[in-house]
Homo-oligomer: A and B are copies of this chain.
Amino acid sequence: MNQKQHSAPVALRSIHVTDEFWQREMELVRKEVIPYQWEVLNDRVKDAAPSWCMHNFRAAAKLMREKKDKGATFVAPTYTFRGFEALPEDPEHPEEDRFYGFVFQDTDFSKWIEAVGYSLAVHPDAELEKTADEAIDLVCAAQMENGYLDTYYIINGMDAALTNLRDNHELYCLGHLAEGAVAYYQATGKDKLLRAACRYADFFAERFGPEEGKCKGYPGHEIAEMALIRLYEATGEQRYLDLSRYFIDQRGQEPNYFIEEEFARAAREGKTLRAPKGNMAYHQAHKPVREQDEAVGHAVRAVYLYAGMADTARMTGDERLFDACEKLFNNIVNQKLYITGGIGGTHMGESFSYPYDLPNDSAYSETCAAIGLAFFTRRMLQIKADSRYGDVMEQALYNTVLAGMALDGKSFFYVNPLSVVPEACAKDERLQHVKPVRQKWFGCACCPPNIARMVTSVAQYAYTESEDTLYTHLYMSGEVDKRFAGGAIRMKTASRMPWDGHVSVSIEAQKPVSGTLAFRIPGWSGACSAKASCAQEGTQTEMRDGYLYLTGTWQEGDGIELDFTMPVRMLAANPRVREDLGKVAFTRGPVTYCAEEADNGDMLHLLRVDAAKVGRDGEGVAVEMEEKFGHPTAALVVPGYRAVLPEAEGLYAAAAPLEERETTIRLIPYYAWANRGLGEMSVWLRG
């Protein structure tokens, strides 16, 4: 690992994104999603499922207050929660002392405050900050004296706390709380929530670990692993790194904690359990993480774990752990990644399917999983700048992550299929998880706030830095400040990504400063040229692992011109992917394309691409800029055919070449699909 060049995300406050493409997304989140989400957290949106999140914090805070007032030892009511989601018997009149919603409902707040933090970092907003501070006061008021902070158990009874780490998300709540607290602290400098998060982390740090008598558990839904590293990086407290590493080391060891826990829980309830019911692979707990080489189980959990593994590998120099990350990354890329950057082939367990099983219509490809893949790959980049990681990160971000949100920021996809036929979604219960239009909000609302925190912090996926190097992984117009040993520079980028491959970089500096600027060469680029116009001669140029390193002394007026050719690419899947054999898909730059009924009529399966006319370099495809979706977008116009339906009824007839008529097939970016009402969509076309 020593040869690797570690880097850290550049602080959001040091970046100013002016990029047309991303600004639009960020403004959507700031103006639409964050305010809407706050209303949802407070159950004030009529046509959305209530979150119960702030209700639960209020109920827990009330309990804490009562305890303090009475000076008595706090005894929570008996454990009475039944079922997976608790709902009030009379939805109009919830009881103020009860817990409602899912066991992980606290995280609705944590994800919101994280997005708020990122937003405030780049766009101060006193009113929003005031709202956030008040919310933080309430959340902190709900915390127990010993640091515990999960309203589900605080309200329902602490006697059952820590008895079901596998399913009940206490550590998941810790993780999101820590991530939100760090973001808010870094944006505002206010540490109240950060201290609460630390106290909650300390609660676990005191009780979990290899020492005798301590709990040997780890998160059922991973996230605490990477969150603890953020807490470590924000506070410098070694115990958070140690706890993260413990969780990672302990996961999947024998005897399996989750199985032991299940038996203990059954015994506690007076039941006899013949065999454990849990699926350890679902939780990535089927074997120690360093022995894992296939991405399995719940896809979001998996990539959250891998992100934490990469963090810990970076922090501890653990080569075996990095190797496991590398194997898992390769496994995803070689066998389990949709061309949209999505992961998770099956809705059963929201999981990775078996190798090369990438169904298009029944894809799960959860928005959060693509976000998690960006988490993982950004962390791999932090260990080693290798464009393989950057390519996948970019692919996930520009396609499935953005597809998760409507272009007006008001509705969301949880599942991101690569092929949709509305009739099938309506009538085929096998596709009941696939929605042909985005939904307002979900009771289990992981994806919308996850998009919010990803989009508002996207600049941290664009830029990371080490002491002597500023890395550019993604191209977006804006400015980034970098302090080298000899002084500071401001690097300005002008780019029309993802529509154009030309990137202009200019330097502002009060005095000449030595340092390295590294730029990712995207894998989609057919060829690239780079021209550095430095005032001083002697700039060293090096290509390594898909990154262009320019080392020199930078001063005011220096410029770098990068030209990435951006051909239309007609791609085919590995023939092992049964679903896609005989089909092609189109990408251009980082954008994956799809055909929609709005442009091409229904029965998209009747379309066929004229591969010969498309040509080897996509030269037969016209790229047309249009404003159809409220911002400049490149559409592709592909030469092809449409099969003519026979007039005769009847299912089977002598095979004959299909009667076809020539047509052009209009493709739009995948992220923009389903913004024009109900209709068919398909990424893969017969070719």
Residues of A within 8 A of B (CB): 330, 333-335, 337, 339, 346, 348-349, 353-354, 357-358, 362, 421, 423-424, 427-430, 569-578, 581-582, 584-585, 603, 605-606, 611, 616, 643, 645-646, 649-656, 658, 686-687
Contacts and interface: CB of A to CB of B under 8 A. Distances in A.
B655 A572 contact: yes
A687 B575 contact: no
9 contacts: A357-B427, A357-B428, A421-B578, A430-B430, A573-B652, A575-B645, A575-B658, A584-B655, A616-B654
Nearest to A660: B575
A346 B333 CA distance: 32
Contact of A333 (B339, B569, B573, B651): B651
- A353, A357, A570, A652: most-surrounded residue (chain B CB, <10 A): A652
A127 B650 CA distance: 49
A337 B427 contact: no
Closest 5 CB pairs of A and B: A572-B655, A348-B429, A334-B649, A354-B427, A584-B655
Contacts of A346: 428-430
Contacts of A353: 427-428
B354 A651 contact: no
Contacts of A349: 429
A650 B334 contact: yes
B571 A654 contact: yes
A650 B687 contact: no
Given A339-B651, A655-B687, 10 more contacts: A346-B429, A354-B428, A570-B654, A572-B656, A574-B645, A577-B651, A581-B605, A581-B686, A582-B686, A585-B652
A334 B421 contact: no
A464 B658 CA distance: 41
Contacts of A427: 353-354, 357
B334 A571 contact: no
A650 B651 CA distance: 38
A651 B573 contact: yes
A589 to B, nearest CB: 15
A39 to B, nearest CB: 29
Given A424-B357, A427-B354, A428-B357, A655 B686 contact: no
Nearest to A574: B651
A682 to B, nearest CB: 10
A382 to B, nearest CB: 24
B428 A571 contact: no
Given A421-B578, A429-B346, A571 B605 contact: no
Given A353-B428, A354-B427, A430-B348, A650 B574 contact: yes
A651 B335 contact: yes
Contacts of A330: 649
A621 to B, nearest CB: 12
A345 to B, nearest CB: 9
A110 B651 CA distance: 36
Contacts of A569: 654
- A333, A339, A572: most-surrounded residue (chain B CB, <10 A): A572
A587 to B, nearest CB: 8
Contacts of A337: 651
A44 B352 CA distance: 43
Contacts of A687: 655
A383 to B, nearest CB: 22
Contacts of A655: 570-572, 584, 611, 687
Nearest to A362: B430
B428 A574 contact: no
A353 to B, nearest CB: 7
Nearest to A577: B651
Contacts of A658: 575
B424 A575 contact: no
A450 to B, nearest CB: 25
A359 to B, nearest CB: 8
B653 A572 contact: yes
Contacts of A421: 578
Contact of A651 (B334, B582, B656, B686): B334
A645 B571 contact: no
A594 to B, nearest CB: 15
Nearest to A658: B575
B686 A572 contact: no
A621 B302 CA distance: 50
A290 B486 CA distance: 89
A573 B643 CA distance: 13
A440 B576 CA distance: 33
Contacts of A348: 428-430
Contact of A423 (B354, B423, B573, B656): B354
A669 to B, nearest CB: 17
A334 B611 CA distance: 33
Nearest to A330: B649
Contacts of A423: 354
Contacts of A357: 424, 427-428
Nearest to A592: B652
Contacts of A645: 574-576
Contacts of A606: 575, 581
Given A581-B605, A606-B581, A686-B582, A652 B428 contact: no
A330 B650 CA distance: 9
Nearest to A337: B651
Nearest to A421: B578
A611 B655 CA distance: 8
Given A357-B424, A582-B686, A646 B575 contact: yes
Contacts of A333: 650-651
A349 B430 CA distance: 11
A342 to B, nearest CB: 12
A574 B643 contact: no
A51 to B, nearest CB: 26
A427 B357 CA distance: 10
